Structure 1
């Protein structure tokens, strides 16, 4: 189960006592049928032949399989029989099942304290896709899965939103999930057993048993995988999404509708990020080897840069707002200043593709690069003069993603193995020794 994406939730955002949804047997039955229908259609649809291992299986074989599992009569089955096994409407009142109680003394692992961060981890495999929500306390070292959320397609990117989908309520604790099936789901992190997202952006009707079918429709939503998301912290109702369909879409999350569409790129748009302080500026990058800075008050692209290789990641430097960094497929990192066409510096960071870049919110100039070469590296880019500090193999295979905690010196990594690697850079002697004497400050992006 590879870790496909990561995001942090700052301290003080989550509710101290999460809510718990209650579902009637009827609503659970409806959800169960919705989940089962794609699998039934896979076998009972208009299929004439199947080709397996180069040989053609006759339609009679399919009929035999349908007969064996009685799938053709699925809609007439009493699916709800399983629910009749429990005479109680809710497991909470079933004396045979132990449930947590957020008011009880034994539920301390559920309560979220004022010094706790939450981490959102996208996990994917062939059978199930989920968001695992970790609780992390930097002071006492707590780090465990608090709860998880089943998502409806392979998660490719996640973005935390401390806002609400309700235009009359400014506060919330949501996470947006970009999926391989072209739509975006928004989930309430404060609800620990939710079965449905609070909103879906895009057309979710194209979700099939393999989550790969694409629909052709007027471009009011993406029609290919959503590869990156960026929430506008100043214009808090706006979420930007990037897709393999070459488009960038701005969404109004309170209306769950498209606000604007940009088609400046000629290939997959892999990475986007709003400027940390200028709400109208959106940075986008693509496998077409270009970076574009768009002023979203107007339709035209303001500035364009070309690179020699496909672009995997682009991020702003919060300590130097005119500068952004670009990670390329060839393993190099470039820094650009929006006021110039030429790059400021170049780092030959890895021998294989860059997968992610992360800049510390706590220490100016602290850059971490990740790569499919299975290593992560720490750099000091203070004064636009990059210096290599250290390298580490985290034993998680190819490293796919990284994310700095906004409140401390910790950074988490995800890779092809099914575990998250959490590293406190203050405990890495070489890193700590180098940055200890440097001036540190904290950027509050909220």
Structure 2
């Protein structure tokens, strides 16, 4: 009797090493798996539960903090590690994110509140701070004698950084070597103290130039080599209210946006020194940031508890209204990818809003969000938040609050810190795809969107909903 035996190569049935997985054979015929959809739904529910189970967004605080409330924060545009913060007592501190420690404390940098800090666009580590006493100062994050040295590449003729590690000024015997490198003041304020307070400062993305917003109802453009402004926008549509925020457009080199106390948001062209457009909001806007990837879009945080995204080509109405806070939005910050932004509010919470739909697709204009927060962060000790920002690697969020602390958070609350293996990354992507696929189903939606929020925020939210229903 002749018997036919199945013979398979040994490589398809055995492991090559003890650390490999055993080969498995699957029947891909859908008729052989009638319960496939049910099993996949069960996995989606499990994936949503695991995502919330491993959610631990708080990483830690920068050691030392400030003595007074943190009022301003700047993240370097060319380096991952340096961060500079300013406090209400006029102190400026330099931080190293890699070690989460303070590099230097510039006590007495300003005599009043440090209202704005910004890094330059070079690799020399220079940054600028402005205070409400009407003075701008230039500093360096590197101690004297420890500046970044730059070599010139023969191929592209561009400077190349050779040394970039921060060194603590406490290691040097000399007194504070960080500056100030230069001091700037408005001509009208040289003989009168606190005459023209600065409320915001921003540096050009490609040129050696910075802009300030002041209480004299003007936007001033400065050259670091000059002690007086090179251009001033004094006629802001006839308004004499304080300009609170100013920001350069990352792509249009001659475009500036500003917010003022008269509830206005305006655009300026620096070539013609003329105003382009202006829109009036219902309440005052506290902050403004341009989208780094879609530079025709910007977001503003308002006193009415909402954040608004605008298209600069049509300022008559916002593209999306982002709701959820129960206090004034004090600060906003875009992620480097331009797909989401973070807000810090007077209600002591941080919220992350995505500008994309749940499935990752975009609607007309690239903004398809329903206006609700993707995530909300809070702690028992954290007080009112005045400044927030993303790190350049899109992994972490920094926040400065009224309780003198600078905190570091994960951008994705359940994300693992460190390198993932190939199996971990594949499993994570599979679980995320399952949650997105079944996010519309009640059980997955309930688990995926469940968040613990403070009791007073729940009460304020319920009260706001009741008031909204009564107005109808």
TM-score by length of 2: 0.61
CA RMSD of aligned residues (A): 2.7
Instruction: Give the alignment partner of residue 182 of structure 1, picking from 134, 155, 179.
Output: 134
Q: Which runs of 5+ in 2 are unaligned?
A: 1-67, 144-168, 170-175, 357-361, 417-427, 437-472
**Does residue 228 in structure 1 map to residue 200 in structure 2?**
yes
Per the alignment, in what secondary structure is the counterpart of residue 327 of structure 1?
strand
Instruction: Give the alignment partner of residue 143 of structure 1, picking from 97, 100, 112.
Output: 100
In the alignment, what sits opposite 2:51?
Answer: none
Structure 1 302/245 Cα, relative in aligned 2: closer, same or farther at 3 Å?
same
Instruction: Give the alignment partner of residue 197 of structure 1, picking from 180, 184, 208.
Output: 180
More strand by percentage: 1
- Output the CA distance in 2 between the equivalents of 1:422 and 1:259: 38
In the alignment, what sits opposite 2:292?
Answer: 318
Q: Which runs of 5+ in 1 are unaligned?
A: 13-115, 164-170, 215-222, 439-446
In the alignment, what sits opposite 1:423?
Answer: 409
Structure 1 385/418 Cα, relative in aligned 2: closer, same or farther at 3 Å?
same
| Deviation (angstroms), 1:238 | 1.0
**Does residue 120 in structure 1 map to residue 84 in structure 2?**
yes
TM-superposition CA deviations, 1:393-432 (whole Å, max 9, x none)? 14320001112112342111011111111112244459x9
TM-superposition CA deviations, 1:343-373 (whole Å, max 9, x none)? 2111223121110011100x34211111111
Structure 1 145/323 Cα, relative in aligned 2: closer, same or farther at 3 Å?
same
TM-superposition CA deviations, 1:149-199 (whole Å, max 9, x none)? 230323111001144xxxxxxx52211111010111111221242374111
**Does residue 256 in structure 1 map to residue 220 in structure 2?**
no
In the alignment, what sits opposite 1:113?
Answer: none
Is the contact made by 1:231 and 1:238 (CA closer than 8 Å) also made in structure 2?
A: yes
Structure 1 302/316 Cα, relative in aligned 2: closer, same or farther at 3 Å?
same
Pick the structure with greater CA Rg.
2
In the alignment, what sits opposite 1:385?
Answer: 368
Is the contact made by 1:119 and 1:135 (CA closer than 8 Å) also made in structure 2?
A: yes
**Does residue 153 in structure 1 map to residue 101 in structure 2?**
no
Relative contact order, higher structure (CA 8 A, sep 6+): 2
Structure 1 428/288 Cα, relative in aligned 2: closer, same or farther at 3 Å?
farther
Instruction: Give the alignment partner of residue 269 of structure 1, picking from 243, 262, 276.
Output: 243
Aligned length: 307
TM-superposition CA deviations, 1:327-356 (whole Å, max 9, x none)? 111111111111222221112231211100
- Output the CA distance in 1 between the equivalents of 2:94 and 2:331: 21
- Output the CA distance in 2 between the equivalents of 1:273 and 1:182: 19
TM-superposition CA deviations, 1:370-398 (whole Å, max 9, x none)? 11110111111123122421112143200
In the alignment, what sits opposite 1:342?
Answer: 317
Is the contact made by 2:342 and 2:389 (CA closer than 8 Å) also made in structure 1?
A: no
Structure 1 365/124 Cα, relative in aligned 2: closer, same or farther at 3 Å?
same
In the alignment, what sits opposite 1:397?
Answer: 383
Q: Detail structure 1 runs of 4+ shifted over 3 Å in the superposition.
A: 203-208, 426-430, 432-438
